Structure 1
């Protein structure tokens, strides 16, 4: 990928992971000149920037460090008209250079940039008093004192300005040494999570095609890797850092990617994300929001700056406090994860209103203001990582692990590590499988659910002593267990497996319950059983039973339905009833076919031949086995259902 010679990719020896530094400050305070003095690279590459003498687009430069990682500089515009471009440049940096001209002092964009850096969580700030060649020593000293006082008020009490002149070189050596020292002491982000890269620039090169640049905020990238972008599949042809081709990029590093695959003129572009796995989008983000003093919030359309993208939104306050809990309603779905930083601006007033962190990228449409929901968001606001967030969520309700892992960008290995830690340190957490999902529940939650179901069945048996038990619908599983349906069904199977519950056909009952049949019903049941049992897997149909027993057809049908409710008979087909032991024989044929099959499945013809019951009855039997949850039909084959 021949990227050498592009502005912002000056050649450098690549070692370590590097440090990304963004400039900030008012227009015409010397940010671009400072970077050129430090690196030798003029980041104003556009003709319009040269003509007007101000930065319009993001500029990039690398500073070689002998024996260490290079320093990467992102030069952002200072003019208020280009604030969205500035935000894209500081979205993922390690530290910031705040540049303030000694003759002007702090100006409106200085203050706004400081607010933005604070909202984005940029902890390291290096203040630079520029253009010192323009002022007297007395003015320089006064400007430095003013800047120190401003930074104390804005949350950087230890920051000491460097007085420099890009024209004469005054102070540049001390600033250079300080930046190198910070780079050596910098703690890099761990390469955890799936790879996510925010794109801040795209261009094309002859012979290479589409090239994007950006910062990798999590995970790792390597040549040949497959990535996703807005539903499209892309492939990394090659990677560069600081003008040199590399095989791997780690979280926190800036890089250039030569992309192949589903590339077109529309995407990828600045504002898009490249991700290792598809990330669910959402038009509702639950967030912790810090409102700037004096900001004027309204119900109209505002701007969300997330990553390097800009999106229209409306904000709904869920709970006052410091910070405020809010839900951001977006006109288009966006990709976000827990912990992502953002800024909100009023485009009409060209004013930054506030910013904060995403707490739940899949915000609720209903129940968003319930006390338990707000309590969970507060816990997630204070959580220092996925472990604390998961424990907080588990205190309220079972957690679908797969959905949690997506919100918190956990790889399969990180999920397993988290589970192992919880099992060793927190007693009573259990893992369940339901509908091909993994769920976590507290043992106490499972015990309480069983107590509710046990009481429900006891009451039902007392009200219907003549019946074996209710079906799933009659149990009202969701309201009884107060759990999602798939999880409630998984627990039914679990309790059935450990003997606390019994099931016959569709009926669930407690082991100690037996239907109380009338004497005359018991006598007639014995006569019916004597007719059904000799038929084996093919008992007589209802009409044949009516003739054999000498009972009117409608009277017999009513009796058979009554015996089905009592669990004594099972209607496998509309006109054919089986004894429970005969149904077990039908299931045994299916199990044997699966055991003998290399594929672990069987088809209707194989079942017909093995059972000898004929084609039409075979279809009815197999449909019953599917309804009963014994088999599962997939592409003309049937498989046994686990449990």
Structure 2
């Protein structure tokens, strides 16, 4: 796959993290000439770049090192009209060379580029004073003083200044040796997560087809790997680094990727993300926003630079009580993003950079986005250094939906499992919950049920809907129901038919009801799994039916009797017998299921009653009905 001129590791080594350096600075201050002097590569590839003498597109060059760790250079445009291209080049670099011409000094784009580097999280900076052959030492010193003042005003650490001339070669050898030493000191760091590559160039090569270049920000790439561009499926046909084929690319490395699959003229293109996992897209991003001094913010359409893409947006300030501001970015089109990614916001009309910052939640809320508890969580996520700290912050404030959390923080299954093991959180129904939060929910439910028992001493307990047991926990429905089942298993809760009650609670029956209940039980118990209907029961008791019905209903509320069918009541141990038949049939079936005929034969209760009993077991959550078969319900 001959991908001429593509960036990468000259040695073809993988598993290491080469240093990527971006040049920054005002137009025509010698960035491209500097890279050529250092690497021998002219990064101005386009005819218009040659004609106009300025960089329009991104250029890349790589310098071999003795250690095998590549030293890569990204040449970005300095002209104000090409700021968006500059932003694409700076995304994902390790350090920057701020190039200032000795004969010009600090210029407008010098300041803007310096601020953009800070907003994008590029903390390592070195200053190159170029074109030193054109001025004397006094002028050089004046510009060095300008630079020092600028760094101080912008709160940057004092950076070394390298005085060079790309034409005469002055200082180039010393700068080159310093950068090579810096590359040798680079410590390889494993960056986990799903593979995510931000595309900054696309082109076609005869015999190879579609090729994209970009920086792999997480995970690993290998030939044959499946990638997604939005919902379009692609496949890695081959990988190259510095014109050499490689078998793998690690996070932090630049590469060229030969792609096959559902490729169109627009997919993929610069600004797209290629990912090994499908991440949900959102048009609302919650962020920590740093506003530049004297920036003029307005409610109109601004411009978001995220990764290598550019998107129109509006900004809503959610909390400006402290710096950075917590804001929500409202986009006109959904984008895929993950926590921690850096961004820039510009005003395209004024052609100025307004600010930037860090993405906190790529799935911003529509409702409740500015509530105090939400702002508190977002600020905690801003202070966090990794996914483990963000998980702890979220867990301390409530339940955590695990799939959504893993997507927000780009965790693969193995990483999520390891995080959960370290956290010792409860895992229930796809959620994580702290033991403290679970106990708090139990105490709340215990109080509600205790109050209900006090107000209804003659009844066994309320139905789930009557007391809204799940909603009273203030938890998602599936999580709340799972907790109820957990407390049932632990013996804290009891359930009979539809009634829920605290362990140890016994309904207080009136003396007359106790006597009549004993008489009714004497008639029901001998009938086994087929007790008499209420009309027959009234005859056996020599009692008017209109007096017996209210009594039976009271006994059902007290949990002493259970209405399996509208006209047939069972004792609790008789219902246990009905359940036992279902369990025995399921256990003896290869499919774990049974049908109505099998239940009828096993129970001996007849066809019509069998249908009523099975419908009751469905309502009670003992069984579930699927295609004429019944299975035992989970839990």
C-alpha separation between the residues in 2 aligned to 1:165 and 1:606? 93
Correspondence 1:127 to 2:127: yes
Match of 1:369 in 2: 370
Change in 2 beyond 3 A, CA 1:9/1:388:
closer
Q: Secondary structure at the match of 2:150?
A: helix
Change in 2 beyond 3 A, CA 1:454/1:11:
closer
Match of 1:230 in 2: 230
C-alpha separation between the residues in 1 aligned to 2:606 and 2:307? 65
Match of 2:428 in 1: 433
Offset, 1:546: 5.6
Match of 1:395 in 2: 396
C-alpha separation between the residues in 1 aligned to 2:239 and 2:604? 65
Match of 1:102 in 2: 102
Offset, 1:286: 1.8
C-alpha separation between the residues in 1 aligned to 2:438 and 2:627? 36
Change in 2 beyond 3 A, CA 1:157/1:499:
closer
C-alpha separation between the residues in 2 aligned to 1:157 and 1:328? 31
Correspondence 1:567 to 2:559: yes
Deviating more after overlay: 212-221 vs 275-284: 275-284
TM-score by length of 1: 0.91
Offset, 1:588: 1.5
C-alpha separation between the residues in 2 aligned to 1:65 and 1:581? 81
**CA deviations over 1:341-381 (Å, ceiling 9, x no partner):** 11111111111111111122222222222222222222221
C-alpha separation between the residues in 2 aligned to 1:130 and 1:534? 104
Deviating more after overlay: 30-39 vs 459-468: 30-39
Pairing partner for 1:469 from 461, 470, 476? 461
Correspondence 1:584 to 2:576: yes
Correspondence 1:35 to 2:27: no
Do the aligned partners of 1:399 and 1:441 also contact (CA within 8 Å) in 2? no
C-alpha separation between the residues in 2 aligned to 1:637 and 1:120? 59
Which structure 1 segments of 5+ residues have no match?
424-429
* 1:347-386 alignment runs, 5 A limit: 347-386=348-387
**CA deviations over 1:461-506 (Å, ceiling 9, x no partner):** 1211221100112222355333333332222222211212110011
Change in 2 beyond 3 A, CA 1:581/1:74:
same
Change in 2 beyond 3 A, CA 1:601/1:273:
farther
* 1:154-303 alignment runs, 5 A limit: 154-303=154-303
Match of 1:89 in 2: 89
**CA deviations over 1:298-343 (Å, ceiling 9, x no partner):** 1111111111111222212222212111122222222222211111
Q: Secondary structure at the match of 1:396?
A: coil
C-alpha separation between the residues in 2 aligned to 1:202 and 1:615? 70
Do the aligned partners of 2:165 and 2:171 also contact (CA within 8 Å) in 1? yes
Deviating more after overlay: 599-608 vs 335-344: 599-608
Q: Secondary structure at the match of 2:434?
A: strand
What is the total number of aligned residue pairs between the two structures?
Answer: 632
Do the aligned partners of 2:449 and 2:502 also contact (CA within 8 Å) in 1? yes
Give the number of the structure with larger relative contact order, counting CA–CA contacts within 8 Å between residues 6 or more apart: 2
Do the aligned partners of 1:290 and 1:355 also contact (CA within 8 Å) in 2? yes
Do the aligned partners of 2:64 and 2:71 also contact (CA within 8 Å) in 1? yes
Offset, 1:519: 4.2
Change in 2 beyond 3 A, CA 1:457/1:177:
same
Change in 2 beyond 3 A, CA 1:46/1:492:
same
Match of 1:13 in 2: 11
TM-score by length of 2: 0.92
Change in 2 beyond 3 A, CA 1:593/1:274:
farther
C-alpha separation between the residues in 2 aligned to 1:81 and 1:467? 77
Offset, 1:438: 3.3
Do the aligned partners of 1:26 and 1:108 also contact (CA within 8 Å) in 2? yes
Change in 2 beyond 3 A, CA 1:67/1:574:
same
Offset, 1:170: 2.4
Change in 2 beyond 3 A, CA 1:464/1:248:
same
Change in 2 beyond 3 A, CA 1:261/1:498:
same
Offset, 1:143: 2.3
Correspondence 1:412 to 2:413: yes
C-alpha separation between the residues in 2 aligned to 1:304 and 1:545? 77
Change in 2 beyond 3 A, CA 1:389/1:51:
same
Change in 2 beyond 3 A, CA 1:245/1:623:
farther
Match of 2:501 in 1: 509
Do the aligned partners of 1:8 and 1:43 also contact (CA within 8 Å) in 2? no
Do the aligned partners of 2:103 and 2:131 also contact (CA within 8 Å) in 1? yes
Q: Secondary structure at the match of 1:417?
A: helix
Pairing partner for 1:482 from 471, 474, 482? 474
Offset, 1:235: 2.2
C-alpha separation between the residues in 1 aligned to 2:627 and 2:307? 44
Deviating more after overlay: 151-160 vs 320-329: 151-160
Match of 2:422 in 1: 421
Change in 2 beyond 3 A, CA 1:10/1:408:
closer
* 1:538-549 alignment runs, 5 A limit: 538-542=530-534, 545=537
Correspondence 1:48 to 2:48: yes
Change in 2 beyond 3 A, CA 1:566/1:246:
same
Deviating more after overlay: 627-636 vs 122-131: 627-636
Do the aligned partners of 2:398 and 2:433 also contact (CA within 8 Å) in 1? no
Offset, 1:144: 2.9
Match of 1:426 in 2: none
* 1:145-156 alignment runs, 5 A limit: 145-156=145-156
Offset, 1:254: 0.8
C-alpha separation between the residues in 2 aligned to 1:100 and 1:619? 87
C-alpha separation between the residues in 1 aligned to 2:264 and 2:536? 70
Do the aligned partners of 1:8 and 1:59 also contact (CA within 8 Å) in 2? no
